[in-house]
Chains A and B, each alone.
Chain A
Amino acid sequence: MQTEADYYALFEAYQRGELAAGARASLEARLGAEQRLSQLYAEYLDLTGTLAAYGERRRTRQTISHLHEAMLTAKATPVFEEKAAGGLTYAVNPRLSLSRTEQKLREFWSGHRATVGVAASVAVLAVFSTLTGLSLWHSANAPTASGVRELRREVAQIVRKQDALTRKVATQMGDVATPAVRTNKFSGTGFALTSDGYLVTSAHVIKGADSLLIEGRDHQRYHAETVFTDKKHDLAILRIKDRDFKTFGKLPYTFKAGQADLGERVYTLGYPREDVVYGEGALSARSGYDGDSAFYQVSIPLNPGNSGGPLLDAQGNLIGVVSSRQDDVLGAAFATKSSYLVRLVDSLKNRQPDSDYRLPRFNQLIGAGRPQQIKRLQDFVFVVKVYE
């Protein structure tokens, strides 16, 4: 009985053609007849064939990996030499030579570019939405262009609303609608410059004015006209037009031609509402908004309507004309220095020699208590009503 190993020896000999003719013929006959034997032979062939192919594969793999290394080392050698050596012609593709760092970077990029792209677009989106959001927020909260709010009062808006209300009530009551009374649009404060009918107020109060009405504490009304405006220093000089006007009476205060000192107690009277209002504070800086030397900064709480009011020191010297307040700084209001007012009056005197600007020369408020000062002062402070 032959073992499988014996058969393998037989198969090998048969394959190599080493068998004698008789033995070969008998084996071929048996392979044709015996199924077990033919299956054994097939398996033998399969096994040895696979082994041989496996060996071939290992050799090929080695060859090819050598090829790769050879290619890498030969990169530096000129290409045309190879071309001359090899009998075949072929096109040489341009080969990129990359540094190690660049290679790493490229690998990183090709591996992560989707992630990087998403991250970048998110970043861009975040940055721009933040920027636009911030700028929107800023523009919504921006102070007025100059950073300073002029203090004339818008009356018309309130009055118009009230008018509409009354009219509505009137029509509902069945009354005939009364024609609307023309109301002033803005109001400010003004005070007497001379006893014979010249007044001072702020230039912005009478801006765009069509007609002006001056109203005193005793509700005496006068029509006034603009004599001169100095927009730069926010000053305006008015004159009362009424024929029956005689005089304001002797002015109790004088105009200070020099500069007032820092820290001086100052006060003002004005008409931010229907009644006269007193405001008190200190002179906190000798320059105005943005370092403007024509103005003082004072720490008096001021409201729209205070514009054009007189600013007086403790002795009752008039040292300034209230002009504006700064929105973004707490308690900073500005007043035009009286020295500018005095200079303006002087220049007007020179220009119009026939008109007489007699500024008061005696101060009657010195030494008086504050309530006494105000009592005397309030007759010379007026509401300036502006119609457009």
Chain B
Amino acid sequence: MNMDSTTALAADAQLIKAIQGGDERALSQLYRLHWPMVSHFVLQNSGSEDDARDVYQEGVMVFYEKVREGSLELSCQIKTYLYAVCRRLWLKRLTSKSRLHGVRLLDEEEYGPYLNTGAEDDVQEAEERDRRFATMSEALTHLGEPCRSLLEGFYLLDKSMLDLTAEHGYTNADTAKTQKYKCLTRLKKLFFASYKEA
């Protein structure tokens, strides 16, 4: 391994550590750093600027969630990993919307060994998670008010029970809590019904 990649790996490790610690500036740096590469790749392969942004954000999301979970096993530079993830994502989109059956991508030699980066599995995992979230979102919509805003307020927006009690006009926190648990059981039925069958 040459000097360049050694220092690059060291910088990557530092960056990952900072992101894991919740440093938004580090994430911002990472984001800026690799945007040109991905946008170029997508534009090269018959995508638009908006496509590039969507794919890149999705890709960074995959990376970020893996880092936050601490489950990222990086065998290459972040650059290569991101390239592989975004490539995989764009390929999926292209094949799903393309009239042509065979889609061939123009790759940059520079980001060469994008194949054995574990990106495939990570993308797969992220997709599974996406499906779960989509089901959850749908279940929440079907739940109806006031259950929906109550649960969203508590679980998604991290509001305290006291705030929610005031917001929804419950007489006291205990009534709100009881209501919340009832809502949760209904949500459970809705969620598992559609998630399991899928």
Alpha-carbon distance between A143 and B182 when the two chains are bound, in angstroms: 102
Chain A residues, CB < 8 A from B129: 53, 57
Q: Does A355 contact B (CB under 8 A)?
A: no
Q: Does A89 contact B (CB under 8 A)?
A: yes
Return the CB mask of B169-196 against A: 1 if under 8 Å, else 0: 0000000011001101101100110000
Chain A residues, CB < 8 A from B178: 5, 9
User: Looking at the complex, which one of A3, A4, A110 makes contact with B47 (CB distance below 8 Å)?
Assistant: A110
Alpha-carbon distance between A86 and B18 when the two chains are bound, in angstroms: 11
User: Looking at the complex, which one of B27, B36, B156, B177 makes contact with A95 (CB distance below 8 Å)?
Assistant: B36
Distance from B139 Cβ to chain A, minimum over Cβ atoms (Å): 10
Distance from B32 Cβ to chain A, minimum over Cβ atoms (Å): 5
| CB pair B181 A9 closer than 8 Å | yes
Alpha-carbon distance between A8 and B178 when the two chains are bound, in angstroms: 9
| CB pair A107 B156 closer than 8 Å | no
User: Looking at the complex, which one of A43, A54, A60 makes contact with B156 (CB distance below 8 Å)?
Assistant: A54
Alpha-carbon distance between A91 and B188 when the two chains are bound, in angstroms: 48
A71-B35 contact given A106-B43, A110-B45, CB 8 Å threshold:
yes
| CB pair A43 B192 closer than 8 Å | yes
Return the CB mask of A26-51 against B: 1 if under 8 Å, else 0: 00000000000000000110011011
Q: Does B133 contact A (CB under 8 A)?
A: yes
User: Looking at the complex, which one of B31, B37, B185 makes contact with A67 (CB distance below 8 Å)?
Assistant: B31
Within 8 A of B (CB), among A82-102: 82, 85-86, 88-96
Q: Does B141 contact A (CB under 8 A)?
A: no
Alpha-carbon distance between A60 and B155 when the two chains are bound, in angstroms: 15
| CB pair A5 B24 closer than 8 Å | no
| CB pair A110 B43 closer than 8 Å | yes
User: Looking at the complex, which one of B31, B37, B45, B184 makes contact with A71 (CB distance below 8 Å)?
Assistant: B31
Distance from B98 Cβ to chain A, minimum over Cβ atoms (Å): 11
Chain A residues, CB < 8 A from B29: 82, 86, 88, 90
| CB pair B136 A111 closer than 8 Å | no
Nearest-CB residue, chain A, relative to B7? A89
| CB pair A88 B49 closer than 8 Å | no
| CB pair B11 A89 closer than 8 Å | yes
Q: Does B167 contact A (CB under 8 A)?
A: no
Alpha-carbon distance between A191 and B22 when the two chains are bound, in angstroms: 118
Q: Does B6 contact A (CB under 8 A)?
A: no
Nearest-CB residue, chain B, relative to A8? B181
A64-B11 contact given A8-B184, A71-B35, CB 8 Å threshold:
no
Within 8 A of B (CB), among A329-360: none
| CB pair B18 A47 closer than 8 Å | no
Main secondary structure of the interface of A (DSSP, over half): helix
Alpha-carbon distance between A63 and B68 when the two chains are bound, in angstroms: 14
| CB pair B64 A60 closer than 8 Å | yes
Q: Does B147 contact A (CB under 8 A)?
A: no
User: Looking at the complex, which one of B14, B45, B181 makes contact with A5 (CB distance below 8 Å)?
Assistant: B181
Max chain A C-beta neighbours (<10 A), residue from B53, B64, B178, B185? B185
Q: Does B33 contact A (CB under 8 A)?
A: yes
Number of interface residues of B (CB under 8 A): 50
Q: Does A61 contact B (CB under 8 A)?
A: yes
Distance from B28 Cβ to chain A, minimum over Cβ atoms (Å): 5
Q: Does A103 contact B (CB under 8 A)?
A: yes
Within 8 A of B (CB), among A246-265: none
Alpha-carbon distance between A53 and B126 when the two chains are bound, in angstroms: 12
Distance from A82 Cβ to chain B, minimum over Cβ atoms (Å): 8
Q: Does A20 contact B (CB under 8 A)?
A: no
Max chain A C-beta neighbours (<10 A), residue from B45, B65, B151, B155? B155
Q: Does A68 contact B (CB under 8 A)?
A: yes
Return the CB mask of A176-187 against B: 1 if under 8 Å, else 0: 000000000000
| CB pair A110 B46 closer than 8 Å | yes
Chain B residues, CB < 8 A from A58: 156
User: Looking at the complex, which one of A5, A6, A61 makes contact with B57 (CB distance below 8 Å)?
Assistant: A61
Alpha-carbon distance between A57 and B136 when the two chains are bound, in angstroms: 12
| CB pair A64 B185 closer than 8 Å | no
* Pairs A–B under 8 Å by Cβ, sample size 11: A12-B181, A52-B156, A54-B133, A64-B27, A64-B61, A64-B64, A65-B57, A67-B32, A90-B29, A91-B33, A110-B47
Chain A to chain B: the 7 pairs with minimum beta-carbon distance, closest first:
A55-B156, A5-B181, A51-B155, A8-B181, A67-B31, A93-B36, A4-B185
Instruction: List A residues at the B interface (Cβ < 8 Å).
Output: 3-6, 8-9, 12, 43-44, 47-48, 50-55, 57-58, 60-61, 63-65, 67-68, 70-71, 74, 82, 85-86, 88-96, 103, 106-107, 110-111
16 new A-B contacts, CB < 8 A, other than A5-B184, A68-B31, A110-B43, are: A3-B185, A5-B182, A8-B184, A43-B188, A44-B188, A47-B188, A48-B184, A50-B191, A54-B137, A55-B158, A58-B156, A68-B57, A88-B15, A107-B43, A110-B47, A111-B48
